[in-house]
Structure 1
């Protein structure tokens, strides 16, 4: 009944946004002058911003709103429309969105919505307060930090801005969307939101204990016993990797399986021993994990929502050192990657892969030549010959195609000003390391051959033999894609599945804390 009532109210009192019957443009224009609409005196707008300066950033949007709808939006003759209360309730739940819950002029808004605002006579101040509250909500939950602040954290992945004046029309038509509009945010956001709820429940139950290794002990393994083992069991049970905590101080197979599950969820190979590095990670307090989830929910607001509808794309997550090649919503290939070391950070941005280069030359960047190659030549005049390198175009240096080429046997090009691309590598051993930030900025792909086969097969009908021939041709040759593939280089230190189970990754470029500061500092 409440839903029917809400829709009836919207059809009657907010009909300037929508109609319960289909109407042509002339009907809509006539309806704008319907006698149910309450005229709005715009002379009080300036006084509103003087009284409520924290809402000044939304001045332009508010003006656009009332230029489009020059009458009261949130009021009917008997008081506030029901959707105003729905919006107010969502604003009071910002904490569920991983956001600071300090709402501008909250006490004034609380007074306004006392008893659901029934009997609140239309006035400019209350009308503008609700509109400002709407833009504040949309700005925080859907848009996130402004572009300049995103870039301060190293994020250059563009996101198209939403017209929140037009979006209010949509919400008036479909009010249920205010509880979670899957078209407005990257789908990972909703998975992390479930994770946020899960970890807050853990926090309410007291979190988890720290694991303290006995002096002189560097690891735990199956068969060991002691307080540290019991602490490890309690810790894993708290996060859900064990069904229950039986308090046993013996490291048995059940506990070993739980540690293995923990390591697998973080995309690591478990060596059947709990090392100091694992314990250090497990000892991170639940409050810090909650903050990490909130920070990554903010990053989700910056991701173009089109990624969820892309038929085909490649995504690299820098902290997890993983690449996913997604086709029709399913990851068809997952590969370990090596990313830029701290001094040569891989940039967070997007591009469109347009061609592949087989048996590539490696044109040594001037910065690398200056710092590494020229000093090596000074020490050994035969350095270039030993590394299959040569001069070209004067002072420039390049490495010839071949199995020892630093780019391996194939590179994947999505032209960009950062001069970053995906490529193969002869240094395969690095992919077995847990920490894989070693490159000069480009992304080394462990399954480069498999990726090349999948891309060329889908795009041009190539087979494995044809790819292998191109990779081992000994001379550079290119394959131009008929259809470009979007590539996203991202930075998520927390990633959740559809059930809200969260995997956390090292903040390799130390960006979480600065982002949290931007989020929680007015």
Structure 2
């Protein structure tokens, strides 16, 4: 049974005149046949989506969006979709105008059912994107192994229905201060682009204190626009400009000597759009880590920055320089939990490294400080006829015992994972003095491993130094459990914002951001046109 002609005309007029948030889309009273048709329409529209079928089935296929009492729900969804660009999301995938039109056109049971399921699908797409990321990086970069924190669709819909809709939508993006600072910076860069950007690029190969001329003016003006220099009319590379260059270099991971060499000029000449792209990609990377939990402590290894940080309650409480995997042996990106440390560790040599660096010498009769193991038991190299083996069929494992020459140094920090990656000390501390520190076979070497250990242990003992040093002095390989496991993120941020507001940029050492940026741009995530 359909509505009367008079009621249909009144409803149609109301649909045209009323805003979405206040529409009364449910006819009253709903006769049995019409309601049955509505439920059938919802069932048909949801049929290809198992999660939505289960969700609506458990609610007897009743509408959740196209009823009078869902006005706030519709308003919260539409507002979130209209603001999706603020989070750097691909807004075209949500069909905001199509959904608006579907709500307005929902004048019969069939169209109401179609609109209701359409709203649920778009809600789930947006909610998953803004919460856990909108691209699967592993399909683009083989060395990214992040398990995206996408939520169960049924649970997501159910929780939304049981919550204040506006607060729920606001809770979906990462709630960390780091993400909030990135979002704020993104909006500031958009405003700066609309106001002309950074201005003309610096037309010079390099500049140094004492130089004068147009190139110095260009350098001065760009650093002013970036916030590194107060307004000035000087055309000389004076002390104020030198100090600005020092700060710029420090915030871009360069040797901060105040001389605008070729690398510094190249970085200064990057556009607002370049910086915006880096910020947006960092926001997406933060979504990949958004497990929805509040962690009072995190360990954050930023590969592009060559540093390892401990984050306590959102603030950096410890930082140390690090060495990461070489370009041909790249450190993967993934997350896990640190469970224990090993003091006076042995090094069980990975097969790939053994074949490349140790087995050829052993087969040639050279001396080695490595122990040969067969079935976990040490064997004497002198008792073995090495002539019967080659590098490929060498049957023994190699172990380097604890000691001053051990490749892992005096301690390693374990978060057991399938990649055999961990943090550790290193006897090659001279590498920490290099600006670009990509030398390892994939693991993370720490500049201050003992201080790192003390910092972690301070939460479970009153004397972390005494505990650590007492074990170290024994020379025995010892496992020391952490009372509370600590989430570890090995990530790749080329842009972030410090708590003091300073924007940091780093080079794309592995070339990962270039490929990821191309992927998100292909989805329509581009900087807004300042003229629009």
Q: TM-score range by the shorter chain?
A: 0.7 to 0.9
Match of 1:350 among 335, 340, 349: 335
Q: What is the CA–CA distance in structure 2 between the aligned matches of 1:133 and 1:263, rounded to whole Å?
A: 44
Match of 2:260 among 274, 283, 287: 274
Mark the runs of 5 or more structure 1 residues left unpaired by the alignment.
1-5, 15-32, 51-55
Q: What is the CA–CA distance in structure 1 between the aligned matches of 2:255 and 2:195, rounded to whole Å?
A: 31
Q: What is the CA–CA distance in structure 2 between the aligned matches of 1:66 and 1:438, rounded to whole Å?
A: 55
2:106 corresponds to 1:125: no
The CA RMSD measured in Å over matched residues stands at: 3.5
Match of 1:391 among 350, 372, 377: 372
Match of 1:331 among 304, 313, 316: 316
Cα offsets for 1:28-60 (capped at 9, x unmatched): xxxxx9x9x97762333576589xxxxx6xx33
Q: Measured at CA, do residues 496 and 408 of structure 1 come closer, stay the same or move farther in structure 2, by a change above 3 Å?
A: same
Q: What is the CA–CA distance in structure 1 between the aligned matches of 2:137 and 2:464, rounded to whole Å?
A: 45
1:21 alignment counterpart: none
Shift of 1:492: 1.7
Q: What is the CA–CA distance in structure 2 between the aligned matches of 1:363 and 1:230, rounded to whole Å?
A: 57
Shift of 1:409: 1.4
Q: What is the CA–CA distance in structure 1 between the aligned matches of 2:193 and 2:348, rounded to whole Å?
A: 52
TM-score (norm 1): 0.80
Q: What is the CA–CA distance in structure 2 between the aligned matches of 1:184 and 1:495, rounded to whole Å?
A: 14
Shift of 1:338: 0.8
Match of 2:126 among 119, 137, 143: 137
Cα offsets for 1:127-163 (capped at 9, x unmatched): 2332232223223322323657467453323344323
The alignment covers a number of residue pairs equal to 476
Q: Measured at CA, do residues 183 and 309 of structure 1 come closer, stay the same or move farther in structure 2, by a change above 3 Å?
A: farther
Q: Measured at CA, do residues 289 and 330 of structure 1 come closer, stay the same or move farther in structure 2, by a change above 3 Å?
A: closer
More off after superposition, 95-104 vs 229-238: 95-104
Q: What is the CA–CA distance in structure 1 between the aligned matches of 2:25 and 2:44, rounded to whole Å?
A: 27
Cα offsets for 1:52-74 (capped at 9, x unmatched): xxxx6xx3333233224332222
Shift of 1:463: 4.0
Q: What is the CA–CA distance in structure 2 between the aligned matches of 1:467 and 1:288, rounded to whole Å?
A: 46
More off after superposition, 344-353 vs 96-105: 96-105
1:17 alignment counterpart: none
1:24 alignment counterpart: none
TM-score (norm 2): 0.78
1:73 alignment counterpart: 64
Shift of 1:426: 1.7
1:479 alignment counterpart: 480
Q: Per the alignment, in what secondary structure is the counterpart of residue 460 of structure 2?
A: helix
In 2, are the aligned partners of 1:358 and 1:411 still within 8 Å (CA)?
yes
In 2, are the aligned partners of 1:314 and 1:325 still within 8 Å (CA)?
yes
Shift of 1:329: 3.9
In 2, are the aligned partners of 1:191 and 1:499 still within 8 Å (CA)?
no
1:41 alignment counterpart: 38
Cα offsets for 1:304-336 (capped at 9, x unmatched): 435x62233322111111111233444321111
More off after superposition, 158-167 vs 509-518: 158-167
Shift of 1:269: 4.4
| Aligned pairs (5 A) from 1:335-484 | 335-376=320-361, 381-382=366-367, 384=368, 388-393=369-374, 395-484=396-485
Q: Per the alignment, in what secondary structure is the counterpart of residue 316 of structure 2?
A: strand
Question: Which is higher, the Rg of structure 1 or of structure 2?
Answer: 2
2:221 corresponds to 1:230: no
Mark the runs of 5 or more structure 2 residues left unpaired by the alignment.
1-18, 380-395, 524-532
Q: What is the CA–CA distance in structure 1 between the aligned matches of 2:65 and 2:485, rounded to whole Å?
A: 46
Q: Measured at CA, do residues 473 and 325 of structure 1 come closer, stay the same or move farther in structure 2, by a change above 3 Å?
A: same
2:274 alignment counterpart: 288
Q: What is the CA–CA distance in structure 2 between the aligned matches of 1:73 and 1:449, rounded to whole Å?
A: 57
